[in-house]
Structure 1
């Protein structure tokens, strides 16, 4: 188990939200609160510091994190750049990464990834069938290696993970717990599903 003081949380909110019409996805309402508020609940009080990787809407996101971290390089280069920026910004040995558009993440996400990391450098969440690579626990000492990979043109998260000792940590909650809401239709579907299953919320 990784102690709280060794762990920084990072919410990835640096994308362009193109499939949602260019909106800032983390601030899109889900239920009665922004998506990022639901995600923050899974990390708050379980990490030493909570960061949000954002390239716009800094004031709005500032209400949900101790620090806002922009991409180390501009041009909206994808989640791997956001992870790299978080690794550079963290003051702890570990960084727990989650996307801003996954409002149904397991409540014990932090504890279970920490328990499952073992001797590995990266723990990646799975739902029993597929991996969710943007939900991961990463050793911050890997920042330099990721910087080199990005400089060489790498933008695929799974290919970078494969360069290191990583483990899969499966969660029994199923795929909905890790659902990425890329469209308004997906948002409405998950809202309705969770409203009908309040116990899982």
Structure 2
């Protein structure tokens, strides 16, 4: 498998944070989004941002900005589709997605997702963390997605599918398990309390 391109998912409405681009909130001397870019960019061949609204507000990042092609804020699957369409234009075979509000995700996210997909013989791989009571917990905004499935995803969105796992389970999904011995690497900032906690961890 050749190196995938990366897509940072920043298309949500941040309702619990009061709206706006929560990835722009500061965590130490850098924004949450800048930290996500710094973590993902060394792992991929190219990088884009999935976001809706005026793309000019992200001009300082120097990244392509990919709006949803499906109306009505359908969720992260629309961002995955936008990323797959962009990747097809780049000649890439896969994308890896990461959420813009998750500043501590693993620095080996991409190789571990690729390894899981190959070892488990599945077209899609999602990140997961162990839970003593529930087994592996999936983190569906952190995944490896083949460009070959983009038309299938387009049809699913047109049919009203919105939950990531409702679509991925149709195709078979590998899980890449990441340790939590130093805390949850997929801790995401949804509320002001989360932001305060993240500032304590950074």
TM-score (norm 2): 0.89
In angstroms, what is the RMSD of aligned CA positions?
1.5
1:122 match? 124
Cα deviation 1:35-78 (Å, max 9, x = unaligned): 11111112113212101001135234333353110111232221
User: Within 5 Å, which residues of 2 pair with 1:36-185?
Assistant: 36-56=33-53, 58-90=55-87, 91=90, 92-118=92-118, 119-129=121-131, 130-173=137-180, 176-185=184-193
Q: Secondary structure at the match of 1:181?
A: coil
In structure 2, the residue matched to 1:33 is 30
Question: Gaps spanning 5+ residues in structure 2: where?
Answer: 132-136
The 3-state SS of whatever aligns with 2:130 is coil
Q: Distance in 2 between matches of 1:103 and 1:148?
A: 32
Cα distance change of structure 1 residues 76 and 65 upon mapping to structure 2, 3 Å threshold: farther
Distance 1:17 1:99 in 2: 12
Task: For residues 103-160 of structure 1, give each alpha carbon's deviation from its aligned partner in whole angstroms, at most 9, with x where no partner exists.
Answer: 0001111121122211311110001131101110111111000011011111011110
Q: Is the 8 A contact 1:95 1:137 kept in 2?
A: yes
TM-score (norm 1): 0.89
| Deviation of 1:190 (Å) | 2.1
Partners of 2:194 and 2:63 in 1: CA distance: 29
Indicate the larger mover: 132-141 or 72-81.
72-81
Farther-moved stretch of structure 1 (113-122 vs 95-104)? 113-122
State the 4+ residue runs in structure 1 displaced beyond 6 angstroms.
none
Aligned CA distance change for structure 1 residues 18 and 138 (closer, same or farther; 3 Å) = same
Query: What is aligned with 1:198?
Result: none
